[in-house]
Amino acid sequence: MEESNNFRDSIATINEDGNRNVIFPKKPKGRFTNYRTYTSWFLLFFLFAAPFIKINGNQFLLFNILDRKFNIFGLPFWPQDFYLLVLSMLVGVVFIILFTVIFGRIFCGWMCPQTIFMEMVFRKVEYLIEGDRTKQIKLDKQKWNAEKIGKKSLKWFIFFVISFAIANAFLAYFIGGDILITHVIDGPLKHSDTLIKLLVFTSVFYFVFAWFREQVCIIACPYGRLQGVLLDNKSIIVAYDHERGESRQKFRKNEDRNTNELGDCIDCKQCVQVCPTGIDIRNGTQLECINCTACIDACDAIMDNVGFDRGLIRYASEDNINKGEKFSFNARIISYTVVLTLLFAFLVTLLFLRNDIQANILRLPGQLYSTQGDSIRNVYTYKLINKTNKSYEDISIRLISHKGNIKVIEGEIFLPKGKFHEGTLFIKIAKKDIHSSKEKLKIGIYSNGALIETDKTNFPAPIQIK
């Protein structure tokens, strides 16, 4: 047992001297690879197009941290809506946990940008230029002759161009697609800061995809490291059916493996050779496995060749393999689903309750009321936020709860789409209409005479007012 667990003492990407062990995975082929390829086309298109898609004039996805502007699915979020963003993230985290409990690391294999770019973009370029695994190993070992210099330079140049393209898309999510296009048209001399950001991002992506590669999943990714606590015996993962596969032995033609008590694994090691993280799935569930399905396709092809049933490596749970149990909803899955549904319902309710116009009227700090004849006057700051795509004109601020007068210092207020307006105003109320030292006021915001938002604030006054 001790010996069979030796693989847990080391990782495939580091050799005994502690140096990097470069992985040269064999090019995967098969139905799962095809499905993943189609999925990656869709996701890549989405990733590059999303910063340039507009809904009601809003960028589909925008995460402008510096200007504190966020759009999710075309809905603009302001810093005042931060609780909604936090809640969306909370729902996202619970969703990922639930999803992982049921389907293991299916996200890593099918949807993670790291896997998609690494396996579906950069690795494919590598196969195209350097050939499959054997040719890559040969090229790596050979001296730096014209062939090696030519192939490596071409590969690294294309890697740089792709990294630059990813950096552009990445930046568009942060500064906005329109701004990026404007900066590109204006040229780098006018926007050297944008060029510097692009080059920094490009360097990071180049480093990750040209050198760091699978180590992101093995060493750096926090989600990968959570697998140990999220997965249980019922989670569906890419798994080797050791009940059927063992004991393994090389294939001999016309041999009766049943009589010799041999399993279906012919120890061809094709599943190991295609693995992008360099592991042997036959050792069981491992942190390094990103559920990329390459070993399923490789093993299925071998099973077809030797005339055995497919599925020696397949999507299955530990209980499915050990006890032949089918998938069922256990208490953990049901409780996660209930929490997720409640959070989601809460989020949708808050989204519907969110006002298009937000008004904040606050007393100017440090200012006392003043008495003006028969009236009391207080000074306030106001901020009006337009979260919509239409502009509001002829805005007036009026008292709803009391008779009195509001004077806006700025005079006319115009609220353009997606912008805010702030300033100072005075509220004056006759003493006879004030009934407490901290009168509660209700104030209305009107555009062209129509009420568009209300806000509440306090109105301090002398205690013995009458």
Q: Are 43 and 116 in contact (CB under 8 A)?
A: yes
Q: Could you give the maximum distance between any two Cα atoms of the chain, in Å?
A: 112
Which of 77, 82, 80, 67 has its CA nearest to residue 455? 80
Q: How far is the CB of 422 from ligand SF4 (least distance, A)?
A: 54
Q: Are 265 and 312 in contact (CB under 8 A)?
A: yes
C-alpha distance across the termini of the chain, in Å: 91
User: Long-range contact list for 151-154, CB < 8 A, 24+ apart?
Assistant: 154/129
Dist CA 28 CA 124 (whole Å): 10
Query: Residue 218, interface with ligand SF4 (CB under 6 A)?
Result: no
CA atoms within 13 A on the CB side of 72: 12
Query: Residue 277, interface with ligand SF4 (CB under 6 A)?
Result: yes
Query: Residue 317, interface with ligand SF4 (CB under 6 A)?
Result: no
Query: Residue 279, interface with ligand SF4 (CB under 6 A)?
Result: yes
- Between the alpha carbon of residue 278 and those of residues 11, 166, 235, the distances in Å are 8, 26, 23
Amino acid identity of residue 200, one-letter, is V
Span from 259-267, 333-341, 369-377, 436-444 in contact with ligand SF4 (CB under 6 A): 259-267
Query: Residue 167, interface with ligand SF4 (CB under 6 A)?
Result: no
Query: Residue 235, interface with ligand SF4 (CB under 6 A)?
Result: no
Q: Please name the residue that has the structure tokens 């996202």.
A: 92
Query: Residue 294, interface with ligand SF4 (CB under 6 A)?
Result: yes
Q: Please name the residue that has the structure tokens 């799962």.
A: 32
Query: Residue 295, interface with ligand SF4 (CB under 6 A)?
Result: yes
Query: Residue 452, interface with ligand SF4 (CB under 6 A)?
Result: no
Span from 1-9, 274-282, 386-394, 405-413 in contact with ligand SF4 (CB under 6 A): 274-282
Query: Residue 274, interface with ligand SF4 (CB under 6 A)?
Result: yes
Binding ligand SF4 by CB under 6 A: which of 13, 215, 270, 285? Answer: 270
CB nearer ligand SF4, residue 28 or residue 76 = 28
CB nearer ligand SF4, residue 58 or residue 285 = 285
Query: Residue 293, interface with ligand SF4 (CB under 6 A)?
Result: yes
Query: Residue 292, interface with ligand SF4 (CB under 6 A)?
Result: yes
56 Cβ contact list (under 8 Å, min separation 6): 74, 389
Q: How far is the CB of 302 from ligand SF4 (least distance, A)?
A: 5
* Contact residues: ligand SF4, CB under 6 A: 238, 240, 245, 265-271, 274-277, 279, 281-282, 289-295, 298-299, 302, 312-313
